[in-house]
A and B are shown apart, each in its own frame.
Chain A
Amino acid sequence: MAYLNYTNVGIRGLAAAVPVKVIKNYEYTRYFPAEDVKQVVDKIGIIERRFTDDKTCSSDLCYAAAEKLLSDLSVPRDEIDLLIFVSQTPDYRMPATSILLQERLKLGHQTIAFDINLGCSGFIYGMSVIYAMMERSGLRRALLLDGETRSKVYSPKDRKTAFIFGDAGVAALIERDDSFGQSFFSMNSDGSKENLIKMDAGGYRNMSSLETLKEKVVDEHGNIRSDEHGYMNGGDVFNFVIKEIPSDIKNIMQYAGADNTAIDYFVFHQANDFINTYLAKKLKLDLSKVPSTIAKFGNTSSVSIPLTIVSELQGKLESRKLLLSGFGVGMTWASAVINTGNMFISDLVEI
């Protein structure tokens, strides 16, 4: 039971950037017959996604979001004392991308900067780490940057993953203010399920080689990928979700002393429409309180929660209470109950 609570720290502003290139799923038929594609797309509810070009990284999307946010809020760069970059698609294996972003954003050398390597739960983990550090007296403002280019992770010839993932980056400015009140976090991990979503090679356990880059047929359905593509066992992931997520959400709400009526919006990780419809039904939620960007941005891993807030809740966040819940690769899952104070939302950036 890893529960945490913080007082008077919160997200002052949030911005998101997505690539301009739209992938229309019904027309994504290069490797699969249109009829099969339609069947899959109808079920998962992902109509469009955004893909970067070859040259654009997660950090570029985060940089664009951060520039927009800092300029919208007129934040002096030398007042940012902490920068965390959450991603599993960094620029390099070393150095950490957060350090490169410190320089690109022209932040001072006093800035604490490091990366967090987590998937779909990552934004909530990042918030918690920053809230904990910001509760101390030394730091003025913090930036949480969270970006993913999952389009580069999965094989377009593997139907289990080909239609699901998209790219995006966000920037959150985190400050101390009385209006934020108390926030509550639950964070969890289960490494026994490491094989549910994984990329087998390219790290130091199985280093990159000609062999690991070879595409091959991996199952009886004829799906094709290399050992350096990610894979996902969707059925087992769903089983994991129904076992762990509703109870985690109930527990954090109990810990926060909030019931369904006290929460204004439930922002779930946008895995697919199937999972989120299930969660809403299971938790007996009013669907008007469950914003969704699954249809237009697909699954952007850790970015999906803040991206959904930017895309769907701009102008609706004055003194609101949000429930956030993210779950995925690891497996790892996290939930939070937060107050928005007067959270500012920038217009969505397209690059």
Chain B
Amino acid sequence: MNAKFIELFKETLEIEEDIVNTETKFRELEQWDSLAFLSVIAMIDEEYDIVIEGNDFKKLVTVNDLIEEIGKRKA
């Protein structure tokens, strides 16, 4: 799932360079802004049918945190 998620994540933020991995702190990306935040929430809902609400999302720091959160909720 990691590779697929990273691909979706990059597509959502329109990142073409190979700069995202599981350890990436996504808020530090140049492309991160309030609309990127909404786009990622929407992407996770569309792809995985999971809604991570704003307050829960605030606690997540790395790409791996996102992946784990999705895994936890899917379980």
A contact residues vs B (CB 8 Å cutoff):
43, 234-236, 238-239, 242-243, 274, 278, 281-282
Contacts and interface: CB of A to CB of B under 8 A. Distances in A.
A242 B35 contact: no
A242 B54 CA distance: 12
Interface in B19-62: 34-35, 37-39, 41-42, 45-46, 51, 53-54
Nearest to A43: B35
Contacts of A278: 42, 45-46
A274 B34 CA distance: 12
B34 A242 contact: no
B51 A243 contact: yes
Contacts, number: 31
B15 to A, nearest CB: 16
A239 B37 CA distance: 11
Nearest to B45: A242
30 contacts: A43-B35, A234-B34, A234-B38, A235-B34, A235-B37, A235-B38, A235-B54, A236-B54, A238-B38, A238-B41, A238-B42, A239-B41, A239-B51, A239-B53, A239-B54, A242-B41, A242-B42, A242-B45, A242-B51, A243-B51, A274-B35, A274-B38, A274-B39, A274-B42, A278-B42, A278-B45, A278-B46, A281-B46, A282-B45, A282-B46
Nearest to A281: B46
The 4 closest A-B pairs by CB, nearest first: A278-B42, A43-B35, A238-B38, A239-B54
B27 to A, nearest CB: 14
Contacts of A274: 35, 38-39, 42
Nearest to B49: A282
Contact of A243 (B35, B38, B39, B53): B53
A346 B29 CA distance: 50
Contacts of A238: 38, 41-42
B interface, over-half SS = helix
B42 to A, nearest CB: 5
Interface residues of B, number: 12
Contacts of B45: 242, 278, 282
Contacts of A242: 41-42, 45, 51
Contacts of A43: 35
A201 B33 CA distance: 30
A274 B38 CA distance: 9
B11 to A, nearest CB: 13
A159 to B, nearest CB: 10
A243 B46 CA distance: 12
A208 B35 CA distance: 34
A274 B36 CA distance: 11
A87 to B, nearest CB: 29
A278 B47 CA distance: 11
Nearest to A279: B42
Nearest to B53: A239
B58 to A, nearest CB: 11
A273 B42 CA distance: 13
Given A235-B54, A238-B38, A239-B54, 17 more contacts: A43-B35, A234-B34, A234-B38, A235-B37, A235-B38, A239-B51, A239-B53, A242-B45, A243-B53, A274-B35, A274-B38, A274-B39, A274-B42, A278-B45, A281-B46, A282-B45, A282-B46
